[in-house]
Structure 1
Amino acid sequence: MEQLFVANQITSGKLISAIFMLLMMSLAGTSASLANEAAPDSAAQRPNILLIMADDLGVETLGTYGGESYQTPALDDLAAQGMRFEQGHATPLCSPSRVMLLTGKDGWRNYSHFGYLDPAQPTFAQALAAVGYRTFAAGKWQLVSNKYQDLEGMTPAAAGFQDYALWQIAAREGETDRYWGPTITGPQGPVPHRESEYGPELFSAALAKFIRESAASGQPFLAYYPMVLPHRPFSGTPGQRDGDRQQRFSAMIEAMDSIVGQLREVLEESGVADNTLLLFVGDNGTDRKITSRRNGQELRGGKALTLQSSTHVPFIAWWPGTIAPGSSRDELVYLADILPTLLELGGAALPADIDGRSLLPLLRNEGSDEWRDSLFMHYDPRWSDNEPARYVFDAQWKLYEDGRFFNLQQDPLEQTPLALAELDANGAAAQKRLQQHLELAGGSLSGVLSPQSEYRRERDLRRSLIAISVLLVLGFWYFMRRSRRA
């Protein structure tokens, strides 16, 4: 009996121990499960990003900014359901803007050649890929080289894009127009398609495919779409290839708008819209050959100049459930702000020496008491005959490094610099504030000639030598002919 009692004690002890162990394992499993569900930095919960940048698009082209010349229902609704930045800015020209966008830095830090980005520069795609994002780019790539200089700049793969379908801007043998039957390259080489196909539709189809595949995978994604629309040539669209320049441009604006709407629908249909930030921006002002109407006034495009129409671009954010519909912000924002925004969103570390600031507090409609009150622009294009300049501005005032000072509300075309001695108290205070900002700005203008200027000089010299040679040959021939007759 005593042995049976001892045996029962041992059995009961083991049973109690087993029950205790099972209970502890269950609690541990539950805790781990809850911890996993609550983990804010898990890859599946990190927001997706769709960044769209139109090519040569000032604010006057969109209805949501008061534009009256074109039909842009998709972008107008995007702003109505999201946030419109009233003072969004790029640089005056495409290449400096693309370098700024990808790196978050002002041009004096890392812009050295047109169509080029130093491969050593860190980009937002590299940072997001490193923390688990799927990365993809489609559209126009303008960072490897240009047709006047032998450069080896940033390739899409080196920039951090694991996959891409891009039209390369650098002129190489065999390239075709960006719109009709474009030469599109991916990681494995040329992307096959029919010569009659429309480039923007090919790019948007590739993006839609990437978004759907990423949504199915559950992995966060970055989709970057540097559009070719509505940059010249103004060749129209599949729906309208005839008409004058203005009519073809109008059709291209409407095609651009439609594509943005289609990509938004893909996000919604894929079930990822509520966890996706969609940003739409422009890379510089509208082409100077285009005139548009905004708020009752005719406005000529300002691309490559230093007017506000050169840098004032659409800046729209949409993120259902996070951004309040119909919201707008008056803060000065620019393309350098996009890198820190995306990296904070994805949980990636910020590179050193960036000039931009994260837009997330503004997108979440939080306070902005310490936001910048003026923007510095270092514009050293090194392209064509575009004049370089350095200046600081806000919504009303603008001060150039050479001392010219303008009231933009009274003189938007900057035709008459203000006499500093005649400024009222408000003007004098603004001039002093902008001067202080300008003195703190880094860098200086390079004085480097455009490669086109050097090319043109060499071309003109060659043509002159050829002309002289032809004249000498003709003169010699004429002299010999006269000698024989004599």
Structure 2
Amino acid sequence: MKYTLIYFLLLCGIILNAQDKPNILFILADDLGINALNCYGNNIVESPNIDRLYSEGMHFTNGYSNDPTCAPSRAAIMTGQLAPRTNIYRVVDRYLMAKNAEEMRQNMKYLPPASNHLYSKDNGLSPDKLNMAKVFKQHGYRTAAFGKWHLGVGRSGMNSHMGFDEAIETKNHYGFSTVPKQNDYDDLVYNADYCTKKGNEFMKRCVEDDQPFFLYMPYYLVHAPFDPKPAYVTHFKNKLLGTEYDHERVIDVLAMIRSLDDSVGELMQTLKELGVDDNTIVVFTSDNGHYQVKGNNMFAQPYRGNKGDVWEGGIRIPYIFSWPDHIKPGSSCSTPIVHVDLLPTLADLANVQVNPNHPLDGICLSKVLMGKKAPEREMPLVWFYTNYSGFNSKTKQFKSKWVNVIQLNDYKLIEDVETGQYELYSLKEDPLEMNNIYSLDSDNAQQLLDELQKAKEQAGLPLPTPNNEYGK
């Protein structure tokens, strides 16, 4: 009788523990810049549902991506690790694959670290590496993902090898493709609507089965191609007719943001209808800064740079967290946050452990989210951007080339690996990065140089490899 009672009490504890686990809804936008939401200050944008999420939770005013392009930042999100540990440095090696690849290499003093090839089977993010989905699955969560993966194919794809119980990878907007191939839609269905439908169905099944869930919703919006819903194009054309924003591409982007917002609203409505909104942590962010938009480049303003740049416009992104009765509504935080912080933060909020043998390059910000005093960030923000692209045959210059960046205590240092030159900015006094003070502030310059060297060593960044083709 005694052992039966003990077993019954243990079983009750397990059931209660499962019910008490907070669900995780992680919404990732694609190429959504810091000035691409109404709640972040752009009153031309219509984003009522994301604005509501913003008002119901905490937003960060100094949010960053770990890379100004897609794949490395997504690897950082999933693993909590920088590129030297994930080996996802770049989306593609243009200096090896572009039509002018030979000419590019002849103008590259160094070769960047070898990067896993995302489009070669089983050669993207390693399926043996711990990631966010695996962490939650190991702790009793049901896991799913619907949308853009961009971290590999085959065993490196968005599938069970990566810890997902259910997953459908999608690409483009209208006429989108799916992996694995699905037959329950046609070319008239919008990608975001399809993913949202799948996400809602997944959450409903989990609630019916009394299972906590981790749902990753990496939308393709607002990445090119510019393929918005016609009704929203008409709406913004009429609204902005004759204004400085009356440009085709601006209107396309505004329409696509509105569709993204609709999807966020539907997900939030489903949580409410299922009665689990109070027990669900919702995260909304983006993979990198906004691309340049012809006509009016407002979506990264007022900052310098765009997607593909390590200036603020290329790496500043929104971060919004919501969890009723835990995260104070309408609150904000100025502590810097970056993608590698997400795994340790979400794991701690959900009271799950990350295997200590998996090194994390980010910090846990759960106490900040729960309303405790925001600490000064002692760990610097670091970027190793090794992409060579945008080569100009006339000027022999690259739009993007290998730079290493470190930011600490409102100071930001950029190291140009090719030239050995440096830029130093005081983001507090010069947030638009217009005045390089490297030669004027030797103390801060030296401190950041020392910290950058430590960061390289800790992360295991390879030394630049001299290029034998340079100058030929």
What TM-score, normalized to structure 2?
0.77
| Contact 2:60–2:320 (8 Å) recurs in 1 | yes
1:414-433 equivalent positions in 2, closer than 5 A: 414-420=433-439, 422-423=440-441, 430-433=444-447
The answer for the alignment partner of 1:123 in structure 2 is: 131
1:87-486 equivalent positions in 2, closer than 5 A: 87-90=62-65, 91-110=67-86, 111=88, 112-113=115-116, 115=118, 116-144=124-152, 153-167=156-170, 178-186=172-180, 189-240=181-232, 244-289=248-293, 291-293=296-298, 302-344=306-348, 345=350, 347-350=352-355, 351-369=357-375, 371-372=377-378, 374-381=380-387, 386-394=400-408, 396-401=410-415, 402-420=421-439, 422-423=440-441, 430-442=444-456, 443-444=460-461
Q: Shift of residue 69 of structure 1?
A: 2.5
| CA 377–100 in structure 1, closer or farther in 2 if over 3 Å, else same | same
- Whole-angstrom CA distance in 2 between matches of 1:155 and 1:164: 6
Q: Shift of residue 382 of structure 1?
A: 5.9
| Contact 1:380–1:446 (8 Å) recurs in 2 | no
| Contact 1:332–1:374 (8 Å) recurs in 2 | no
- Whole-angstrom CA distance in 1 between matches of 2:14 and 2:81: 32
1:61-72 equivalent positions in 2, closer than 5 A: 61-72=36-47
- Whole-angstrom CA distance in 1 between matches of 2:205 and 2:14: 24
**SS in structure 2 opposite 1:127?**
helix
Q: Shift of residue 384 of structure 1?
A: 6.2
| Contact 1:61–1:292 (8 Å) recurs in 2 | no
- Whole-angstrom CA distance in 1 between matches of 2:161 and 2:219: 20
| CA 370–414 in structure 1, closer or farther in 2 if over 3 Å, else same | closer
Q: Shift of residue 159 of structure 1?
A: 0.9
| Contact 2:282–2:323 (8 Å) recurs in 1 | yes
| Contact 1:58–1:314 (8 Å) recurs in 2 | yes
| Contact 1:85–1:315 (8 Å) recurs in 2 | yes
- Whole-angstrom CA distance in 1 between matches of 2:465 and 2:53: 41
| CA 361–410 in structure 1, closer or farther in 2 if over 3 Å, else same | closer
Q: Shift of residue 237 of structure 1?
A: 1.4
Larger Rg: 1
| CA 325–448 in structure 1, closer or farther in 2 if over 3 Å, else same | farther
- Whole-angstrom CA distance in 2 between matches of 1:277 and 1:161: 19
| CA 346–192 in structure 1, closer or farther in 2 if over 3 Å, else same | farther
| CA 446–57 in structure 1, closer or farther in 2 if over 3 Å, else same | farther
| Contact 2:158–2:168 (8 Å) recurs in 1 | no
**SS in structure 2 opposite 1:317?**
strand
**SS in structure 2 opposite 1:142?**
coil
Identity, % of aligned pairs?
29
The number of equivalent residue pairs is 402
Q: Which amino acid aligns with 1:201?
A: D
The answer for the alignment partner of 1:86 in structure 2 is: 61
- Whole-angstrom CA distance in 2 between matches of 1:438 and 1:253: 36
Q: Over residues 75-134 of structure 1, what are the superposed CA-to-partner deviations in whole Å (9 max), with x where a residue is unaligned?
A: 111111100011111021101101101110011222223643123321111121122111
Higher RCO (CA < 8 A, seq sep 6+)? 2
**SS in structure 2 opposite 1:63?**
coil
| CA 203–379 in structure 1, closer or farther in 2 if over 3 Å, else same | same
| Contact 2:305–2:312 (8 Å) recurs in 1 | no
Q: Shift of residue 193 of structure 1?
A: 1.1
Alignment RMSD (CA, Å): 2.9
Q: Shift of residue 241 of structure 1?
A: 5.0
**SS in structure 2 opposite 1:331?**
coil
Q: Which runs of 5+ in 1 are unaligned?
A: 1-20, 146-150, 169-177, 450-486
| Contact 1:68–1:294 (8 Å) recurs in 2 | no
| CA 294–409 in structure 1, closer or farther in 2 if over 3 Å, else same | farther
| CA 96–158 in structure 1, closer or farther in 2 if over 3 Å, else same | same
Q: Which runs of 5+ in 2 are unaligned?
A: 89-114, 119-123, 238-247, 392-399, 416-420, 467-472
